[in-house]
């Protein structure tokens, strides 16, 4: 492609080291799409006649067919996807193929390809997020009546609906979905025509190519356009946050699968056994998702580090964006897909959920709030109930075991109705402000998602 200036070809080792084709073949169809758009812009510019433009397009479409049926032969000597496609075009249609690269550089080409690729992937990932949300809603709905212990500091805290817990993850995933769509919106700019760094000498209308590819607008600065990888970094940041959410869910699944919790049972097809210990059923899927989260963070940091010292404009270092990006896309997709399948069929151990409500003095806050409704300042009420709990601990009692007279020994503001106030059901029902775990609120939110999710 650039023989003119050189005395000798690169060695095989250098060719292999330099080439990106081994890992960027998935860009092929987008490279063809960008080239078709460029061909049309070249026709509009008068660089290609209408007939030449058609020949180039037919050649490119034939190449697309080869790519799609797997017969396209990728060559390391041709370094990257752009030169592989262009060389094949010239093979097919002759020297006319050599006109396609007028007014464009691989620098604007590569970022065009990656934007097209990533916008399509974000659409796919959005659907995976939504199917994961749907599974969590299904799981919540299937266990709508299950009340369990909610934790802070992993210490027993207050009663909560299991469905509320599932819905918490649905909300996290919704923010993830929004982050990806936000990132796609900013990515939706055509860099084609930025040339190597300053634009093109030949007035090839960028607008024509933009319209062909369906981008919403043009990038406004050629130097920025060819040296910007923010959109990849933003994607990996959104992917990292989404993985963090999946990892937190996974950690809970691992924890809940222990004999100590025994709160959830994952379908066997998502677990594995031990080669040595016949009794084992290990939650490998959530463990792996938790593990792969670190890997996606690594993808993000790898690219942030690659970019931090680069002068404008394009530098070959930037070729190092592909592997972390593709790894991030593949890892996130697999983790979402497994989580969606696993959660749709996860089942809660209702007995253990009920048991988790015992022994943790989960109604202590309710007692304090009861005293508040009787006019005691919250701090004093907290102190009184602290003594109630201490007494219960010493006597090995539950709060529910106390009689009204025993309550009154701690404060004369306790009345007969304390026994109906301090129950799990009453406690839940009182959490009826928006966002609370009251069964009514949770049922509404389940229904909202059932109606909203595609």
Part in contact with ligand ARG (CB under 6 A); list of ranges 38-46, 104-112, 164-172, 391-399: 104-112
CA 305 to chain centre: 21
C-beta of 82: minimal distance to ligand ARG in Å? 6
C-beta of 30: minimal distance to ligand ARG in Å? 13
Which residue blocks in 70-105 are alpha helix, DSSP H? 81-93
List the x/- string, 110-129, binding to ligand ARG by CB under 6 A. Answer: x-------------------
67 vs 338, beta carbon nearer ligand ARG: 67
Count of CB atoms within 10 A of residue 392's CB? 19
42 vs 110, beta carbon nearer ligand ARG: 110
Nearest to 320 by CA among 308, 332, 335: 308
CA distances to 254, 289, 299 from 132, rounded to whole Å, are 18, 14, 23
* Per-residue three-class SS string for 277-291: CCCCCECHHHHHHHH
265 vs 315, beta carbon nearer ligand ARG: 315
Binders in 16-55 for ligand ARG, by CB under 6 A: 20
Which listed residue (71, 153, 259, 275) is catalytic?
Answer: 153
Angle at 154 between CA 152 and CA 159, to 5 degrees: 55
Q: Pick from 319, 339, 356, 427: which binds ligand ARG (CB under 6 A)?
A: 319
130: helix, coil or strand? helix
The number of helix segments (H) and strand segments (E) in the chain equals: 18, 6
Q: Pick from 29, 40, 104, 106: which binds ligand ARG (CB under 6 A)?
A: 106
Count of CB atoms within 10 A of residue 379's CB? 9
Part in contact with ligand ARG (CB under 6 A); list of ranges 276-284, 303-311, 312-320, 418-426: 312-320
User: Which residue's structure tokens are 């860099």?
Assistant: 191
The yes-or-no answer on residue 265 being catalytic is: no
Q: Pick from 33, 35, 55, 107: which binds ligand ARG (CB under 6 A)?
A: 107
The yes-or-no answer on residue 227 being catalytic is: no
The distance between the two most distant Cα atoms of the chain, rounded to a whole number of Å, is 101
Q: Please answer whether residues 236 and 329 qualify as being in contact, where contact means their C-beta atoms are separated by less than 8 angstroms.
A: no
102 vs 126, beta carbon nearer ligand ARG: 102
- Provide the token pair at 209: 């190519």
Part in contact with ligand ARG (CB under 6 A); list of ranges 106-114, 152-160, 204-212, 441-449: 106-114
104 vs 431, beta carbon nearer ligand ARG: 104
98 vs 273, beta carbon nearer ligand ARG: 98
Which residue blocks in 188-229 are alpha helix, DSSP H? 206-213, 222-227
User: CA 212, CA 215: separation in Å to the nearest integer?
Assistant: 8
C-beta of 321: minimal distance to ligand ARG in Å? 7
Q: What is the dihedral of CA 370, 373, 379, 383, to 10 degrees?
A: -30
Q: Please enumerate in sequence order all residues whose Cβ is within 8 A of that of 27, keeping only pairs 6 or more positions apart, or say none.
A: 81, 113, 114, 117
Please work out the total of residues on this chain that contact ligand ARG, with binding judged by CB under 6 A: 10
Which listed residue (82, 222, 227, 274) is catalytic?
Answer: 274
C-beta of 126: minimal distance to ligand ARG in Å? 26
C-beta of 322: minimal distance to ligand ARG in Å? 6
C-beta of 314: minimal distance to ligand ARG in Å? 6
Q: Pick from 200, 253, 318, 446: which binds ligand ARG (CB under 6 A)?
A: 318
48 vs 232, beta carbon nearer ligand ARG: 232
Q: Which residues bind ligand ARG (CB under 6 A)?
A: 20, 80, 106-107, 110, 314, 316, 318-319, 322
Residues recognised as catalytic: 153, 274
């Amino acid at each position: 492609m650039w023989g003119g200036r050189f005395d000798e070809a690169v060695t095989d080792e250098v060719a292999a080291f330099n080439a990106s084709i081994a890992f960027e073949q998935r860009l092929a169809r987008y490279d063809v799409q960008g080239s078709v758009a460029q061909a049309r812009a070249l026709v509009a510019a008068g660089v290609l006649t209408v007939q030449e433009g058609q020949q180039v397009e037919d050649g490119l479409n034939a190449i697309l067919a080869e790519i799609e049926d797997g017969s396209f032969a990728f060559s390391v000597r041709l370094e990257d996807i752009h030169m592989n496609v262009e060389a094949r075009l010239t093979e097919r249609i002759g020297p006319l193929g050599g006109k396609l690269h007028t007014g464009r550089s691989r620098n604007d080409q590569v970022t065009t390809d990656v934007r097209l690729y990533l916008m399509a992937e974000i659409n796919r990932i959005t659907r995976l997020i939504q199917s994961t949300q749907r599974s969590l809603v299904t799981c919540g709905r299937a266990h709508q009546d299950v009340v369990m212990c909610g934790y802070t500091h992993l210490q027993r805290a207050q009663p909560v609906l299991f469905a509320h817990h599932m819905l918490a993850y649905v909300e996290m995933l919704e923010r993830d979905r929004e982050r990806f769509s936000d990132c796609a919106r900013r990515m939706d700019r055509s860099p084609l025509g930025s040339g190597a760094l300053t634009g093109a000498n030949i007035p090839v209308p960028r607008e024509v190519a933009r319209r062909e590819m369906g981008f919403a607008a043009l990038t406004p600065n050629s130097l920025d356009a060819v040296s910007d990888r923010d959109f990849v970094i933003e994607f990996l940041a959104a992917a990292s946050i989404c993985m963090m959410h999946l990892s937190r869910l996974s950690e809970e699944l691992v924890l809940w699968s222990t004999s100590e919790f025994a709160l959830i049972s994952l379908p066997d097809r998502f677990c594995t056994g031990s080669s040595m210990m016949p009794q084992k059923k290990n939650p490998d899927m959530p463990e792996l998702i938790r593990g792969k989260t670190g890997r996606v963070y690594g993808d993000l940091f790898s690219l942030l580090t690659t970019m931090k010292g680069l002068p404008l404009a394009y530098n070959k270092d930037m070729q190092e964006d592909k592997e972390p990006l593709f790894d991030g896309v593949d890892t996130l997709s697999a983790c979402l897909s497994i989580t969606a399948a696993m959660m749709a069929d996860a089942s809660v151990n209702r007995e253990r959920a009920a048991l988790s409500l015992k022994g943790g003095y989960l109604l202590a806050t309710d007692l304090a709030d009861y005293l508040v409704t009787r006019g005691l300042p919250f701090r004093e009420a907290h102190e009184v109930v602290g003594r109630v709990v201490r007494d219960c601990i010493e006597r090995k009692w539950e709060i529910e075991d106390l009689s009204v007279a025993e309550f009154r020994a701690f404060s004369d503001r306790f009345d007969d109705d304390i026994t109906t106030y301090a129950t799990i059901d009453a406690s839940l029902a009182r959490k009826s402000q928006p966002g609370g775990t009251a069964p009514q609120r949770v049922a509404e939110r389940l229904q909202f998602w059932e109606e909203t999710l595609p």
